[in-house]
Amino acid sequence: MKFLITFCVIIFAWGSTADSYNDLSAIEQLVSNEIGHENYSLAEIILEIIDRFRDVINDAVKDLLESQRHLILTGVPPVIPPLDPFYIDEYFIDPTEEIAGFSSFQMRLTNTTLKGIYDFKIDQVDIRPLGLFGMISLSFDKLEMEGFHSTNATLLQSSSAVGSGPFTMTLNNFKVSAYVQIEINGRIRPNLKTVITAYSVSSVDPNFEGFGPLLQLLFNPAARLAFPALIALSNINANLWLNNEFIPAVNGVINDFGIIDIIGLIRTLIRNNAESFDTEIMDALYRFDQMNSNLKL
């Protein structure tokens, strides 16, 4: 019961005046008195409590993401454009390792669209506040690509496959997992530290044109075997881009958020998902709401 009341104190101590960081010390003192620990910072307290509710939070995050599926089609004007179909202006495929079916391989994709992102499935979400670690795994039954290619490759039969033209390609059972490590700068500022991604695909159905009838009959079956490995090899380039370009951009946004902002989001999450918590917790939350007006925080 002590833990439940502590949880209530932390989350619902935010009244109309709780936007000020002057509230932080008062709330920390309130919680420290409640749980009997001195010098126990609010950041440490909230991380421990969230971790105990990790399963509930993971389910809520999954439901939230799936409920916002429509944003993939509409985007978020004026900042984020629609993501399905996703437009790829130019992309180079130049593996450093030999791949099945080819002794050399270079390909440039241009004016390419990727369709099917909207129809995603969240396989797993795991938010671990104590380790400041997050993981999400998505899968897509089918992603379709369409655009133009310019290819310079050599088949293992020593046939030179040089050509350019339109192409279509279907990625079957495409999976992507993202692992995120977060650190806290100073006392209460989150900072994205590392992002690692992993991609895989069960099978690929390619149709590349522009090689001539005979060579095309050889190239497409070889590409069907090669592309699952090519997609796996793309993890290296994707992770370099994410950690060199993506992380600094994201940190420019999330560095403006503090633990108080995060708790505010959690407070809303709990209120909107009351059915996920047992009666004892909700009764405690209600009682604390009754007391909240008497707290000068």
d(CA 4, CA 9): 9
Task: Indicate yes or no: pTM above 0.85.
Answer: no
Domain ranges of the chain: 2-52+258-292, 65-254
Q: What does the pLDDT look like over 21-37, one tens digit per residue? A: 444 455 455 555 544 45
Rounded Cα–Cα distance for residues 270 and 219 (Å):
55
Q: Which of 77, 208, 72, 236 is nearest to 149 (CA)?
A: 208
Contacts of 220 (CB under 8 A, 6+ apart): 206, 207, 208
> Is CATH 3.40.50.720 the classification given to domain 65-254?
no
Query: Mean pLDDT of successive 10-residue segments in the chain (297 residues)?
Result: 42 41 49 52 62 74 80 76 85 81 89 92 80 82 96 83 94 90 65 80 94 86 90 78 72 62 60 57 52 41
- State how far Cα 283 lies from the chain centre: 34
pLDDT tens digit sequence for 205-232: 999 999 988 888 889 999 999 999 888 8
